[in-house]
Structure 1
Amino acid sequence: MSKTVAVTSPSHFTQILQSSRIVVTDFWAEWCGPCKAIAPVYEALSSQLSRPGQITFTKVNTDEQKDIVQTYNISAMPTFLIFKGGRETKRIRGADPKGLDAAVKQLAQEASSADEGGAGPSDGGSSGGRWTGAAAPRGYTEVTEQVDIQGLDFLNLDGNAGDKRAVFAPEKPSSLDGKGKASESSKKDWIESDTDEQLMLYVPFQSTLKLHSIHITSIPSGSEEAMRPKTLHLYSNRSHVLGFDEAEDTPETQKIEIQESQWDEKTQTAKVELRFVKFQNISSLTIFVVDGDGDAEKTRIDRLRLFGESGEKRAMGKLEKIGDEQGE
C-alpha cells in the first residue's frame, strides 16, 4: 500500500505541512509523460523513507489543485518541492531521479540526526534548521523567508552594531548562551538604535502575507547600554519607510505594549500576537519601536521572526512539461 498522501485541498496541504517536520511534494499531471516516468522512483523513496510526523511524501494533481499550484508558482511538470518546518527549502524541476534521490536521502539523514540530538522548542525553537526563538503558533507557519531583504530600510540604526539583515539571520543569536543569558560575542549579529531608544523598521515582502504573530528576540547587554523594545506601533502596506515625525501623525494599524512576563527567560524572545483581521494581504510591515523597557540609551533587537500564511507571488502562467532538463 502506498504511503504517499494525495493532497485534496489547500487546507489539507497546510495541515500536512504543519504536522510533519519534512514534506516532499510531487506536482504532477495525468498528461505529463515525464511525471509518469519518474513516479516509480518517487514511490520507492516514499515507501523507504516515510515516517509519521517526520517525513511525509505527497502528490499534488496540478489540474485539480490549481490554488496550490498558483500559491507555489509551479510552472513546469514535474516539479518537486521539499519543505522543512513548513518552509520551502528546495525545488527540483524535471524528471531527475538522481537529484531527487540525493536530496530526499540527505533530508532523511538530517531528520535522523535531529531525533538523536537536535534542538527543539525548549532550547530556542527549530523550524527546518532555522532558529525561531519559540514554537510556531498552532495552525500557522513561519513566513520570514518572504521578507525582501534588499528592500529593508531602517532608521536610527547604530552603525557599530550589526547590519540590518542580521535580525533575519537563520541561526541562533551569537550572544545567547545555552542558559538564555547574554554572552560575549565578537560577531555583532543584532541591531541597536543610535541617538536614542527609537527605531523605525520598514520590512517589505516578496508576496502578500497574512500575518498572525511576530517573535522578537532581544538579549540585554551586560553593560546595560541597550534594552529590550517595549512599545511598538505597527503600520501595514506602506510604500516606504516612515519618518519619525510622520509616524507620530499617522494612525497605526496596531499598538503593542510588550510586558515583562512575555519575555521567555531561556530564549529572550517575546511572542507578539497581531489582530489577524487587520493584517490580511500585507505587502509590507513597518515597526516603530517607540521606547524600550528600561532607562538605557539604546534599544536592541537580535532576531525577528514572522508567522502567518503566504499569499500569491505572481499569476500562474501556462504549465509546461519538461523531461530531464535542469534549468530554465
Structure 2
Amino acid sequence: MSKIVHVESPQQFTSLLSSSRIVVTDFYADWCGPCKAIAPFYEQLSNQLSRPGQITFTKVNTDTQKQIAQSYNITAMPTFMIFKNGRETQRIRGADPKALDSAVKSLAAEAAASSSSDASSSDASSSSSGTWIGAALPRNYTDVTSNVDVLGLDFLNVDSAFGNARTVFDTAAPSSLGKSKEGESKKDWIESDTDEQLMMYIPFQASVKLHTLQITSFPPEDDEDVMRPKTLHLYTNRSNVLGFDEAESIPATQSVTLEEKDWDPKTGTAKIELRFVKFQNITSVVVFVESGDGEGEKTRIDRLRLVGETGESRKMGKLEKIGDEQGE
C-alpha cells in the first residue's frame, strides 16, 4: 500500500508541514508526461523512507490545489519541494530521479541521526535539523524566518562591537543559552549603540502572513546597562527603514509592551502574537524598539523568529512540463 499522502486542501498541507520533521512534496498534473514517468520512482522512495512524524511524502495536484501551487510559485511540472520543520530547503524542477534520490536520502540519513540524539523533552528551544527556535510554534503555523531577504536588511543604531543584522536570524542556538560566560565571546547578538532604541527593517523574499514574532534576549545579570526590549512598534509593507523621528510620527500597525512574565526563563524568549488580520500580505516589517526594560542605555536582541504562513505572492503563470517531452 502506498505511503504517499495526497493533499486535499491547504489546511491539510499546513498541518503536515507542522506535524512531520521532513516533508517531500511532488507538485504534479495528470496531463504531465514527465510527472507520470517519475511517479513510480517517487512511490518507491516513499515506501522505503516514510516514517511517521519524521519523513512524509506528499503529492499535490496543481489543477485541483491551485492555491497551494500559487503559494509556492509552482510554474513547472513536475516540481519537487523538500521542507524541514516547515521551511523549504530544496526545490528540484523536472523529472530528475538522480537529484531527487540524492536529496531525499541525504535528509533521511540526517533525520535518523537527529532522531537518535534528540532529547525526549517537549522543550521547543531546538529542532532536530539544528534550526533553533525560542518557543513552540502555534498549531498550523510554521517558522517562516527563511523567507527573510537577508541582503535587504537595514538595522539602525546597532553597536558594531557586536553582531550585525544577520546575526539575529542565525539558525543556531544563542551562545548564551545554557552556556558559561566563555560562550559569550562569540558575541552572536546585537546591542543598541548610542541609546536604547533599535530600528530594524526586515524585507521578505515573498509575501508572508505573520502570526507571531519571537524575540530572544539574554542581558547579562552583572550589567544593568543592558536590557531586554520593552516597548515595540511594528510597521508593515514599508519600502525602506524608517528614521527614528519618522517612526514616532506615523501610526504603527501594532504596538506592544512586554512585561517580565512574557519572557520564558529557559529560552529567554517572548512571543508577540500579532493581529493576524493586519499581517496578511506582508512584504516587509519594520520593528522599532522604542524602549528597554530598565534604566540602562543598551537594548540587546539575540534572535528573531517569524512565525506564520507563506503568502500567495505571485500569480501562477502557465504551467510547463519539464522532461524528455520538451527535449531537455
Residues 153-185 of structure 1: CA deviation (Å, up to 9, x unaligned): 11111111111111111111123235xx76543
CA distance in 2, matches of 1:91, 1:196: 43
**What corresponds to 1:103 in structure 2?**
103
Residues 85-119 of structure 1: CA deviation (Å, up to 9, x unaligned): 11111111121212211211121122212221136
Aligned pair count? 324
Cα contact 2:111–2:128 (8 A) shared by 1: no
**What corresponds to 2:247 in structure 1?**
247
Cα contact 1:18–1:85 (8 A) shared by 2: yes
Cα contact 1:212–1:308 (8 A) shared by 2: yes
**What corresponds to 1:217 in structure 2?**
216
CA distance in 1, matches of 2:99, 2:130: 21
**What corresponds to 1:38 in structure 2?**
38
C-alpha distance 72-130 of structure 1, shift in aligned 2 (>3 A): same
Q: Which amino acid aligns with 1:122?
A: D
CA distance in 2, matches of 1:258, 1:227: 12
Residues 96-146 of structure 1: CA deviation (Å, up to 9, x unaligned): 212211211121122212221136652613274311111111121111111
The two structures have a TM-score, normalised by structure 1, of 0.93
* Structure 1 residue 201 corresponds to structure 2 residue 183: no
**What corresponds to 1:157 in structure 2?**
158
Listed as ranges, the gaps of 5+ residues in structure 1 are none
1:295 Cα offset (Å)? 2.1
Q: Which amino acid aligns with 2:106?
A: Q
CA distance in 1, matches of 2:265, 2:114: 24
CA distance in 2, matches of 1:279, 1:317: 26
**What corresponds to 1:257 in structure 2?**
257
**What corresponds to 1:25 in structure 2?**
25
Cα contact 1:192–1:300 (8 A) shared by 2: yes
Q: SS of the counterpart of 2:184?
A: coil
Q: Which amino acid aligns with 2:233?
A: H
Q: Which amino acid aligns with 1:141?
A: T
CA distance in 2, matches of 1:76, 1:233: 40
CA distance in 1, matches of 2:63, 2:76: 12
The two structures have a TM-score, normalised by structure 2, of 0.93
CA distance in 2, matches of 1:19, 1:69: 20
| Identity over aligned pairs, percent | 67
Listed as ranges, the gaps of 5+ residues in structure 2 are none
CA distance in 2, matches of 1:176, 1:75: 42
Summarize the alignment of residues 51-90 of structure 1 with structure 2, pairs less than 5 Å apart. 51-90=51-90
Q: SS of the counterpart of 1:131?
A: coil
C-alpha distance 92-19 of structure 1, shift in aligned 2 (>3 A): same
